[in-house]
Amino acid sequence: MKLTHEASGTFAIAPTPFFDDGRIDYDSIDRLTDFYAEVGCNGVTVLGILGEAPKLEGNESIDVATRFIKRAKDKQIIVGVSAPGFAQMRTLARASMDAGAAAVMIAPPTHLRTDEQITGYFRQASEAIGSDVPWVLQDYPLTLTVVMTPSVIRKIVMDNPSCVMLKHEDWPGLEKISALRGFQKDGSLRPLSILVGNGGLFLDFEMERGVDGAMTGYAFPDLLVDVVNLSKAGKRDAAHDLFDAHLPLIRYEQQPGVGLAVRKYVLKKRGKIASDAQRKPGSSMSVLARSEVDYLLSRVGRIDKRANIS
């Protein structure tokens, strides 16, 4: 069930669960995958930035991706395949698709600067993985330091028919979304699914700008599902009210360097992973930081009972 430009809804970005000693926790992968399906996610993206992909060996990456794919059954799995070289990218992409993945996701390497370098890189990446592999273009300049204008994104998409989705997480990025949808209206950009990340910080207004859904790793994917569905149903105030209740925790998660630790801590409290450990090198939370997250959860819990976790 390959990904197409019609993809929409909520794709959770999954962390890679580890035991305290750094071994991969495959049972927690199963629990996470089941959880994402239970709360209504349309798919899951694995081995992204949140998935600590650079810390995995090549065979481990294939094993993790395959475990998610096999457990997900009818849910679409997108596998992050970004790598320093195209040989690694191709190996993981082909192995993932052979296992039943819906698509792969490619982020630009941080050294790209000019428009020509950016468009040339993605043309070569698309050729490397094969024209039969649908892929997602990740646009995350805050972390990757590569700035792609709407016109550059349009050229990448038009030059590479197998690019079916944009993962948009620029900030500020609302006008970029409007520009891309404008290109589609004037016929200069073919149909393209746009899902948004960046921790969900601007999901409320991004939905109103015309995106198709969310793809991020907030520890309450059920909240993302609800906001997407409420927005699509035209229930603007209800979507904003629920989103606003979670916004302080979403903001706290977005702190550079600590966000993954917060997400894993909350997912552990929710019983979805056995340990909040990261594979080294990784960040950790102080006792005070944990108490702050617990306080935020209690405040969210006044509006959304799903946050009432001990």
Q: Is 1 annotated as a binding residue?
A: no
Six token digits for residue 58: 């090549």
**Structural contact between residues 79 and 62, judged by C-beta atoms closer than 8 angstroms:** no
The span from the CA of 194 to the CA of 175, in Å, is 14
pLDDT of 310 reads 75
Instruction: Provide CB contacts within 8 A for 26, sequence distance 6+.
Output: 67
Looking at domain 9-233, its CATH architecture is: Alpha-Beta Barrel (3.20)
Structure tokens at 95: 């192995």
Which pLDDT value is given to residue 49?
Answer: 85
pLDDT digits over 273-292, tens only? 999 999 999 988 999 999 99
Q: For residues 10 and 40, what is the distance between their CA atoms, to the nearest angstrom?
A: 8
- pLDDT at residue 257, rounded to an integer: 85
Distance CA 49, CA 51 (A): 5
Q: What is the pLDDT of residue 192?
A: 98
Q: To which H or E segment does residue 66 belong?
A: helix 58-72
Considering only CA atoms, which of 296, 275, 271 is closest in space to residue 284?
275
Q: pLDDT 10s digit of each residue in the chain, 310 long?
A: 899 999 999 999 999 999 999 999 999 999 999 999 999 999 999 999 889 999 999 999 999 999 999 999 999 999 999 999 999 999 999 999 999 999 999 999 999 999 999 999 999 999 999 999 999 999 999 999 999 999 999 999 999 999 999 999 999 999 999 999 999 999 999 999 999 999 999 999 999 999 999 999 999 999 999 999 999 999 999 999 999 999 999 999 999 889 999 999 999 999 999 999 999 999 889 999 999 999 999 999 999 999 999 7
pLDDT at 107: 97
Domain ranges of the chain: 9-233
What pLDDT score does 155 carry? 98
| Residue 9: predicted pLDDT | 98
Degrees, nearest 5: CA angle 134-34-202: 60
Specify the pLDDT at position 266.
98
- Contact present, 88 and 129 (Cβ < 8 Å): no
